[in-house]
Amino acid sequence: MIVLFVGDVVGRPGRRALAALLPRLVDAHEVDYVVVNVENSAGGFGVTPAVMSELEELGVHCYTSGNHIWDKKEGLALLDSEPRLLRPANYPEGAPGSGLHVGETAAGIKVATLNLEGRVFMKALECPFRVAERLLAGLPRDVRVVIVDFHCEATSEKQALGFFLDGKVSAVLGTHTHAPTADERVLPGGTAFQTDVGMTGPYESVIGMKHDKVLRRFLTQLPSAFEVAKRDVRLAGILIEVDEATGKARSVERLLIPHES
């Protein structure tokens, strides 16, 4: 089976690129299951009901997120009402939503998606390694295909989780830094890995934001409202061929596809 994972969708430019390119990719590669990170999809920060309604038309099977999922108050209720929208599983008990979802392909193959957040240079959350271990142990035996979105700042932490889960999941895919890395591969135990899938959004920017706004903050250290950039929009993703009988990855293909909005 073929799984397509799409990296952080940033604002309206990212949503437009996703809407234009996703159906073509699904058809061209005969994709069976689609996972999209949407934590930056509403104006670059968070998600809203209106944005989710827009994305609903695209046939995405599961939506992952990260630390910005909390940025839009109107989007928080979605975490409890929409089981396909995940927040990182290692937030404290009492946080809305869930970090794990089990869906199915059209052919009835079960696919688990696990969302985790790193701790290095980020929040002091529960250990993502131990949380992953615990949640994976609780999956039904017939769930063999498992995709992990590790939303994380440090490349070392992402790579460490990849090796920690090698042979236990189908893929460990890094998100958050918005810069696609060229290290996609299948690890020795059969787990597909990429340190960061990259963003689906404007690349003439500083991680999706207009560079003049970001430069002002760096140069003056004063608050400056960020604004989503508009130029050089691309879709970043990764295609993973998975043996559905074992859950092990056979191959990976990195994608970075231009879209003129």
**pTM of the predicted structure, to 2 decimals:** 0.96
Q: What is the pLDDT at residue 261?
A: 52
What single-letter amino acid sits at 4? L
Give the pLDDT confidence score for residue 223 in this predicted structure.
85
Residue environment code for 195-228, b if the CB has 16+ CB neighbours within 10 A, otherwise e: bbbbbbbbbebbbbbbeeebeeeeeeeeebebbb
Convert the pLDDT of each residue in 158-176 to its tens digit.
999 999 999 999 999 999 9
For the chain, residues with pLDDT lower than 50 are none
Residues 18-31 have pLDDT tens digits of 999 999 999 999 99
Whole-number Å distance between alpha carbons of 54 and 15: 9
Residue 186 identity (one-letter amino acid): V
Domain 2-259 has CATH 3.60.21.10: yes
Catalytic residue among 61, 68, 151, 259: 68
Active site residue 68: yes
